[in-house]
Homo-oligomer: A and B are copies of this chain.
Amino acid sequence: MINKLIEKIKKTNAPIVVGLDPMLNYVPEHIKQAAYEQYGETPAGAAEAIWQFNKAIVDATSDLIPAVKPQIAMYEQFGVEGVAAFKKTVDYCHEKDLVVIGDVKRGDIGSTSEAYASAHLGSVQIGGMSYAGFDEDFATVNPYLGTDGIKPFVEVCKAHKKGIFILVKTSNPSSGEFQDRLIDGKPLYEHVGEKVAEWGSDCMGDTYSYVGAVVGATYPEQGKIMRAVMPKSFILVPGYGAQGGKGADLVHFFNKDGLGAIVSSSRGIIAAYKQDQYKEKGITPENFADASRLAVEDMIADIAGALEKDR
């Protein structure tokens, strides 16, 4: 799947991923109203609203982008119906031939990690039949539990040609609280990054590993270091846009081949219709998905410009 991701990044010339993290207050009123009329002000109604919202954004952007990253928390909050909307979104994105990165940040030990890996990347055996649960292409994984927590994911990645991105240095302000603490003179995130390289070496695609890392756009200096520590790992870079990361911050996350990173933006794209700069271009809540397309184009240009300048 890392090969497919790279192929699609090359084809679209867009090392970006659209975060499908639909908060209800991002969803335009007319979509919510239609959903509530059909299902009431219920979890089923909310699930329908976020699904219709996602669908419109995917329809408006899928030819420009290689991948999407639905954040499962935003669906889980609506209970079983929300989780069903997550699955519907994953399936629809696959129909559109998008690579789907499930931002699930799972992580446990032994058979439990195996169950999470099966749920999101693999399949389960039920009697004589085999079924995929959520069937994303990549999943984000938390490293706190160590190799026991990661290996089951790696095994499923190998068997199903899927991939993972392991949290190394997250984009939030307090990420340093534990991740930056020095151990033998190096921050914890660097130790985690070294493990990512080690786990990933066992599990290579054509040029990059199935095992990638998450390093926030808000920490470009750390990105530079981690790029060197994990040369064969793709870096998923959240924190662009709404969280403050800019194109110029991102160059350090890429390798000399122009690859090695995929930059995520959520709010900046899916709620672009709320921004003045797009309102001025004639965007209204009714054509919100057009704003998402414009925002994708702007993000691609911003990153391409920064990479060009860096060359």
Identify the A interface with B (CB < 8 A): 21, 23-24, 32, 36, 41-43, 45-46, 71, 73-74, 76-80, 82-84, 87, 105-113, 115-116, 118-120, 124-129, 131-134, 142-149, 167, 170-179, 181-184, 188, 191-192, 195
Assess A127 versus B74: contact at CB under 8 Å? Given A84-B80, A146-B174.
no
Chain B residues with CB under 8 A of A148: 172-175
Q: Are B181 and A188 in contact (CB under 8 A)?
A: yes
A144 to B214, CA, bound (A): 13
Q: Are B172 and A116 in contact (CB under 8 A)?
A: no
Chain B residues with CB under 8 A of A146: 172, 174-179
A144's nearest neighbour on chain B, judged by CB, is B144
Give min CB distance, A166 to chain B, whole Å: 10
A115 to B179, CA, bound (A): 23
Q: Are A76 and B178 in contact (CB under 8 A)?
A: no
A135's nearest neighbour on chain B, judged by CB, is B79
| A107 contact from B80, B113, B142, Cβ within 8 A | B142
A151's nearest neighbour on chain B, judged by CB, is B174
Q: Are A79 and B71 in contact (CB under 8 A)?
A: no
Give min CB distance, A152 to chain B, whole Å: 10
| A79 contact from B108, B131, B147, B170, Cβ within 8 A | B131
A122 to B195, CA, bound (A): 36
Q: Are A21 and B112 in contact (CB under 8 A)?
A: yes
Assess A111 versus B80: contact at CB under 8 Å? Given A41-B127, A144-B143, A167-B145.
no
20 contacts between A and B (CB under 8 A): A21-B112, A24-B124, A24-B125, A41-B128, A71-B108, A71-B112, A71-B115, A76-B133, A77-B115, A77-B118, A78-B133, A79-B119, A79-B133, A80-B84, A110-B172, A144-B167, A145-B172, A146-B174, A146-B177, A178-B188
Q: Are B126 and A24 in contact (CB under 8 A)?
A: yes
